[in-house]
Each structure stands twice: as C-alpha cells, then as structure tokens.
Amino acid sequence: MNVYDAKNIRNIVLLGHAGSGKTTFSEDIIFHSGAINRRGTIEDHNTVSDFNEIEHEKGCTIFGTPLYVEYNNSKINILDTPGYDDYIGEIVASIRVADTAMIVLNSQNGLEVGTEIVIDSTEKEKKPVAFILNKMDIDQANFEKNCEDLKSRIGHGALPLQFPIGKGAQFNTIVDLLSMSAYKFTNDSGKSEKIPIPASEMAKAEKMRSELVETIAENDEDLMTKYFDEGSLPDEDILKGLKSAIINRQVFPILCSSSKNNIGIDLIMNFITNVLPSPLESQLPVSVEENLIPCNASGQTGLFIFKVTSEAHLGDMTFFRVYSGTMKPSVDIFNETNSASERFGQLFVTCGKKRSEVTAIQAGDIGATVKLKNTKINDTLHEKGWQLTFPKIAYPNPKVRAAVVPKTKGEEEKVGVGLSALASEDPSLVVEHSQELRQIILYAQGELHLGIAKWRLEHRYKVEAEYIEPRVPYRETIQKAIRGSYRHKKQSGGAGQFAEVHMIVEPYFENMPNPAGISVRGKDLIKLDWGGNLEYLNCIVGGVIDQRFLPAILKGVMDKMHFGPLTGSYVRDIRVSIFDGKMHPVDSNEAAFKTAGMMAFKECFVKADPKILEPVYKVEIKVPEDHVGDVMSDLPSRRGLILGIDSEGRYQKIIARMPLVELDKYSTGLRSMTAGRATFTQEFAEYQAVPPNVQMKLIEDFKKHQTDEE
C-alpha cells in the first residue's frame, strides 16, 4: 500500500436516505477500481461495506464504514454511512473528517426526510456537497424534477453536470456537460463508450452548459470579466472556477447513476479525482485555540479521533484523520484531551473488514490503529510541546430513552459495563445511572438505535437485558405560603431528644421581598443540583434556637426535598424561614433539630397547595406535506401544544411542546403515522405543572407503589 501525499487524496462521505443505494454505489467504486473482481450485493450479505453480522440481519447499513480505493494515481477515502437518522451519530462523525459530501438520492423518491437531515448536517459543518441522482433505471425516476427540487432546497447553485438519456430500463447513456460528450454503457462492467452527443439532445446540452458556465463565472470576478469580454470560457477556466465554487459552497453539482446496473460510476470517479478538492485545497480546519491548521506533511503531527470500534474478530480499532504532519508506527503522541501519552503501534488503512498495514499516514489522510489504552472519540492527539485542540463532534440530542434491566438478577454491573462500552464507541448513545429514578437509563436516537444497542449488548458483551418503561423526573413545589411548627420529643432513659421548630414555607421567586413582620438575620440562596432554588432564612431573635442548630434544620429540610411528599420526586423553588422554636439545655442536639426541621417542612409542604411539575420539551417535527394533518391532529392527544409551522422545501416543520412522558412513546408513533417519512428533534424547555387529573393519578400510583414495597 502506497503512502499518499495530500494532493493525491480525496476524502468523501456518502450520505443519503435509507434505500438510496449508497452501499451498492460504494461497492461499484471498489469494483471499478479493480480492488475486487466481483460486485457483492446487500441481498447476498457480501458487500465490502456492510460486513457486520447485524447489518446482514437487518439488511441495511448501521455503522459508518471507512473504505478506500486507488484510482487515477489517487487514493479515494470513502465513508459509507447509514441512511436512518437513528444512526445519526455515525453520520455526523463521518461528515466531520470528510472534505466533500456526496449525497445520494433515490431518483424515484427525490428529496426524502433522510436527505433533508444530511443536507442540514453538511450545512452545519460547511462541507462542499455534490448530489448523485441514483437509480435512474427505475421507470418512475424523474431527473428534471429532482433537479428543480434540489434547486428549491439549496439555491440556484444546485446545477447538473450531467443528464441521462433514456428512461427506466432504457437508461444507458449519460451526457457530460464539462466535456460535452456522451458516454454509453452497454453492460454491467461499468465501462463506457465515449460517443458524440445525439443531435436530439444537443440543444438541451448547450443550454444546460451555458447555465453552468454562467453560474461559475458569477462566483469569480476575474472569470466574470473574461466571460463578458469573450462570450465564453476555456475548459481549464471552467474546471478551475467549478472547483473553487464547490469548495466555497457556491455550486452543488448534480450527477446521475444506476448503482444497480453499474452505470455512471466511472464518470463519477473521474469527477472525484479531477474536480473535487484534495485536503490541500479544502477549507483549513480551525482549532479551539482559533488557529488555522495547514495540511503540511512536514509540520508538527496533529490528528483527530472520529471513530472507535470493538469487534470480536477484529479487536479494538481506533480511526483517525491526520490534519498535520506525518504519523508513523511505534511513536508516542500526546493526548490533549486527557493529558496522557499514547503509543501508536501498527498503522492501517481499512476497506470494510480488510485492513492493510502502512508505514506512514500523512496529513490529509485517514487511518486506523489498534490497542490504544486511553483514547476515545473526539480526542485530539499531537506532538508534545504543541497546544492543539480540534473542536468536538456535536452529536444530536437523543430522542428516546429506556430503562435497562438484566434478565438475570445480579448482572446489573455487567449491564452497566457493557452499556458504558457501547457509549464510548457511539457517543450518540447516552447512559445515565440515575440515583433520582433508581434506574439505568439509556438514551438513544430512536427505537432502531435502542434495538441495535440491545443486540450488541447481548452478542458482544454476553449479557441479556430488557427495556422497561423509564420513570419520569418529576419535580414538586408549592403555590401558597404556610406557617407551621413541629416539636420532636423523645425520651428513652438517660438523655433524650428535644427540638421545636417554627417555619414559614412559601414559593420562591427571584427578588421576592422579606417575610412581613419578621426580622431576617441571615439569608442563604442554594442553587439546587436538580434545578430551581432553595432560599433559607434565619429569622431567630432572642436565642430561642442556638445558631449551631440552624445547619441541622437546613439538612432536615434538604433531606425531605430529596424525596418529596407527593411522589418522592425532588422539590424545588421553595423559601423556608425559621422564625421561632424551643430547645432544651440537655436534650437538644443536631439530630433532634434535623428531625424537627424535616417534619415541620413536610407538614407545611402538604398544606401549601403542592403541585407536581413535569419536564416539557420543545419538539421540531419535519414531516411531508401529505402527513401534516395526521401529525397535527395527533399532538393534542399527547398533550402536545402546537406553537407554529414553517415550510422547508417539500417538508413542513411543526414546532410544538410535549411532556417527556408522552415524548418517550413518540418516535414509534410518528414512524407509524408517516411510514417512516418524518423525523423530529427535541430539546428540554422547562418544568410545567401537570394537569389536576394527571397529578391525582401520579399521587395514587406513588401511594400504591409505597404500599406494595411495604
């Protein structure tokens, strides 16, 4: 395996909705490069990309797979990604380290929700994009309509560089607007015959080329001047201007293919090597320290970890992109993230499950190594003496959650260890050992994502688990002020316990005035770990309670706030004023005042018109127009509040608020309502009071649960 300079490297990420043909497309590229002599198929479970057992079982891509081919004296690194947004973590990680995104569309279905999601992701990362209208061999494929839809979504910079001749099964020829030639494919070898553009298509080709050249010239002042002066541009200027416009996201080329019939692959591979930017030409990455990092193989070595896998037959493997310098085997390198030194042993480049050892990996290239001890996804590693931190990959917020319990009692620790390992390989999974809910909560991107986690837990880490309904982190508070007291008296021979505490318990709000008619001698505002505040006022006059007992009273109040009287949930936004009490010279102690404080608070709380608060999330639902009515009519049944609706191309974005307890079930419901054509994002908004009927049920359920435990 050769070591490639950055000028001869292309880093491509393949993106698209499930079923667009990305995996077959990547198989065609590998076949066309000569790396394999027979194309595999998804149905036969023998593609280079989808090699994992669970991918064979499910019949789709689940993990982002690094591939590479050598072609036209270049190395093309390809990152094949999943199509379902349940696996968005694999997608955003691959986008981060690619220089160009190639978004594959099913020409029959056009812009699908998965396409919209990956377009959004490339916009966030500011990556150049090219589109491939695949499956042009399907009778319902519509090249012109797809181009118009892309132009509506992206802007006038979405321009065809090719167009097909022949519809459906008759599709066998592609017109290339850069060379103004046609290419005819006569069999599935992937090889084409260059022919003149048919006379019937020449006017169309000339019109489309003119629009392309005008757009390229518009984005470059020198080219625009030359174009006006001469009425045209030479091919070398067109190519140069096109490459610059792609890099700057001013032009988004549209290509066409049939990956099933191996049509158009050679043209796209030539486009990748001749037009798309190398790492030397791409936008330079900017470090957290706000420094540009030049792609220089002779500079200091700096690299970024974007993927970690652990497979039984391959072992632990860490994937990285070298942004500066040259990485060589048996070299110590500093991990900026955890301030630890890490030794890289062997270096590899991978194509699916096949890995080839290399002597070096230079700036701009992607590689892998094994058996790293202290390195994780999102870590920056570099030569010692250089301060460098690459921005971390921003993974989307999870959409679903489940409580995880082992099927075999006593295997809780094994479940925890396995889940932690899964989360380290896939940061879009989040594991929480919740003391509040007394459950292990697994947060994921969707039901499919949860299913894969469960499968891997069983097959990779040999522990069987099941999902149960997760508890909801409710909060409790009050709506009015109450005065109360409690006397704690206990005598059992010898020294006893005595404490009496008088307090005012009231709802807390910012800048609230002091209690009327009471002198405040001390004030503590406590920011609660679970959100909200507790304000604790010392209003004792005349020494009726010794100052040394006030912290004990506060501890008693806090203990009860950890386990609210209504549902056992955390209590928030309370002000407690201690204004009177009694003590005994012998029997009073901290334990007595802690108990008195806790009981006084509990009795006041239940009389102060208590209410239960639930977490409410802002939800943005992206849905096709023909399903908007179904989704909007369903939201009120889930206690959802519709805030507005916006248009995004062929999709509508419904903005709403929904309680977490309803959101837990929403992923499956939305998929069912829209046949998997809609998606949503969620973000915590605030805590709101539950309706009275829901509060009564929650209190009854809690009492029943307490009785059952007793």
The larger pLDDT score, comparing residue 477 to residue 586, is at: 477
- Report, as an integer, the average pLDDT of 261-269: 95
Res. 188 pLDDT band, cuts 50 70 90 = confident
Question: Quick one: 95 exposed, middle or buried, by C-beta within 10 A (0-12, 13-18, 19+)?
Answer: buried
Predicted local distance difference test score (pLDDT) of residue 494: 65
On whether the 476-609 domain is CATH 3.30.230.10, my answer is: yes
Asked if pLDDT for residue 161 goes beyond 70, the answer is yes
Phi/psi-derived region of residue 510, left when phi > 0, alpha when psi is between -120 and 50, beta in every other case: beta
Residue-range domain boundaries for the chain? 6-198+249-274, 302-382, 400-471, 476-609, 612-694
pLDDT in tens, 506-518: 999 999 999 988 9
Asked if pLDDT for residue 710 goes beyond 60, the answer is no
- Report, as an integer, the average pLDDT of 572-583: 96
Q: Say whether 302-382 and 6-198+249-274 share the same fold.
A: no
Residues of the chain above pLDDT 70, percent: 98
- Report, as an integer, the average pLDDT of 277-294: 95
Predicted local distance difference test score (pLDDT) of residue 467: 96
- Report, as an integer, the average pLDDT of 67-81: 96
Asked if pLDDT for residue 614 goes beyond 90, the answer is yes
Rounded to whole angstroms, the Cα distance separating 205 from 199 reads 10
Among the four given CATH numbers 3.30.70.870, 3.30.450.40, 3.40.190.10, 1.10.3720.10, the one describing domain 400-471: 3.30.70.870
Residues ≥6 apart with Cβ < 8 Å to 199: none
Rounded to whole angstroms, the Cα distance separating 80 from 219 reads 31
The fourth-level CATH superfamily of domain 6-198+249-274 is: P-loop containing nucleotide triphosphate hydrolases (3.40.50.300)
- Report, as an integer, the average pLDDT of 140-149: 94
Predicted local distance difference test score (pLDDT) of residue 432: 95
Question: Quick one: 555 exposed, middle or buried, by C-beta within 10 A (0-12, 13-18, 19+)?
Answer: middle
Mutual angle of helices 447-459 and 412-425, in 10-degree steps:
120
Nearest to 84 by CA among 423, 448, 621: 448
Q: Calculate the average pLDDT of the chain.
A: 93
Asked if pLDDT for residue 493 goes beyond 70, the answer is no
- pTM score, two decimals? 0.90
Rounded to whole angstroms, the Cα distance separating 182 from 174 reads 6
Res. 496 pLDDT band, cuts 50 70 90 = confident
CATH code for residues 302-382:
2.40.30.10
- Report, as an integer, the average pLDDT of 332-355: 93
Predicted local distance difference test score (pLDDT) of residue 314: 65
Asked if pLDDT for residue 492 goes beyond 80, the answer is no
- Report, as an integer, the average pLDDT of 185-202: 90
Strand, coil or helix: what is 520?
Answer: coil
Asked if pLDDT for residue 273 goes beyond 80, the answer is yes
Residues ≥6 apart with Cβ < 8 Å to 183: 173, 174, 175, 176, 192, 193, 194, 195, 266, 267
- Report, as an integer, the average pLDDT of 266-288: 96
On whether the 612-694 domain is CATH 3.30.70.240, my answer is: yes
Task: Count CB neighbours of 688 within 10 A.
Answer: 15
Predicted local distance difference test score (pLDDT) of residue 227: 82
Asked if pLDDT for residue 184 goes beyond 70, the answer is yes
DSSP code per residue over 536-579: EEE---TTSS-GGGHHHHHHHHHHHHTS-TTTSPEE-SEEEEEE
Asked if pLDDT for residue 186 goes beyond 90, the answer is no
Asked if pLDDT for residue 313 goes beyond 70, the answer is no
First and final CA of the chain: distance in angstroms? 68
201-205 long-range CB contacts below 8 Å, 24 or more apart?
201/165, 201/175, 204/163, 205/163, 205/175, 205/177, 205/180
Residues of the chain above pLDDT 90, percent: 83
Highest mean pLDDT among 93-97, 583-587, 624-628: 93-97
CB 238, CB 178: distance < 8 Å: yes
Rounded to whole angstroms, the Cα distance separating 36 from 508 reads 70
